[in-house]
A and B are shown apart, each in its own frame.
Chain A
């Protein structure tokens, strides 16, 4: 299982690569949709990435700002899902 730092760095790297804006870095608590880093297709591709990289499936009721609004919230969502699996 990946450790928490790996999860964060993988997610951050993905978001920077997938971002619509020409950004070099993003704060861990920056609001990624509000700042225009990702749009709705970006969110969909992010969910695909989480499935392929961490084997984490996202359900309808988990799609909320608490789980997805920033890198920190995505990391904690993924870690919680991975903890349940263990």
Chain B
């Protein structure tokens, strides 16, 4: 049998042509997975006002019927205020019931904020937890061939910003303490899922799953992940097709985890989604760096280094995707 010639690399290579069919397939699979494989009668989903959870809510509403979906907002003291407004608008649009579960007290119980702030203070002694805002970010250029290392940035009320490379001990403590947020959300989602005999719908997209941008047993803890195979630009395509409110589509994806505003690009991905999707596709499908570089207006060396960075991220985060070993 003659195999089809491979498509030349182009900026449209991951564009979904038959969007209606793709949405219908995902919806049909979601319905079967939840009803037949998981044997649950609906879905519970944590919504943040972000694009991924919005698309998952829209898909779930179509798969199970709006009355069999519960959308839960899980804010805490560092969440941005407009997240709630957008999440409410979204749920209303798809006719889904909502619930607000504020997890701040649970996080206080775990010592989440205290443990995080204690580590920040050790690196930046002038940090005032009540007045300053903080975030962690990667400042290196992804096209340079060296692993990514996080820095902490503290922003003073007058806008002054202090940034320092995070030492290993403090980096690990900050990440471990903020991960209480995603794990507390997961516990609450499972409470409602079990209470209603619903499945927990996970919202990570392909990059989050494969590059390990999720918390093990946190947002990575779910029964089904309907967009886990989709690139971010494809998630946007679905959002437009499904009628997700425009304000959500236009919003810059943030982590909503640290007190200072922080885009996912600064925090983890080190490049815009549009470029990352295409270069990841090129890497995953074995396109030569030279061919991808020409289309992406980058040198072959830059693409080779980005390929290496993807390879490193997938390898170093393998642990997150692993099941317990026995």
Contact = CB atoms under 8 A, between A and B. Distances in A.
Given A34-B308, A41-B168, A58-B165, A63 B315 contact: no
Contacts of A41: 168, 316
A69 interface: yes
B171 to A, nearest CB: 6
Contacts of B165: 47, 58-60, 63
A47 B144 contact: no
A80 interface: no
B89 to A, nearest CB: 38
B163 interface: yes
A48 B147 contact: no
A33 interface: yes
Nearest to A51: B167
Contacts of B168: 41, 44-45, 47-48
A3 interface: no
A39 B149 contact: no
Contacts of A43: 146-147, 149
Interface string B179-208: 000000000000000000000000000000
A5 interface: no
Contacts of B146: 33, 43, 63-65, 68-69
B145 interface: yes
Interface string A52-86: 00000011100111001100000000000000000
B54 to A, nearest CB: 31
Contacts of A33: 145-147, 312
B167 A47 contact: yes
Interface in B135-181: 139-140, 144-149, 151, 163-169, 171
Given A34-B145, A59-B165, A60-B139, A40 B151 contact: no
Nearest to B146: A65
Contacts of A64: 140, 144, 146
Nearest to B141: A64
Nearest to B164: A60
Nearest to B166: A44
Given A33-B312, A41-B168, A60-B139, 14 more contacts: A31-B145, A33-B145, A33-B146, A36-B315, A39-B315, A39-B316, A40-B316, A51-B167, A60-B163, A60-B164, A63-B165, A64-B144, A65-B144, A68-B146
Interface of B: 139-140, 144-149, 151, 163-169, 171, 308, 312, 315-316
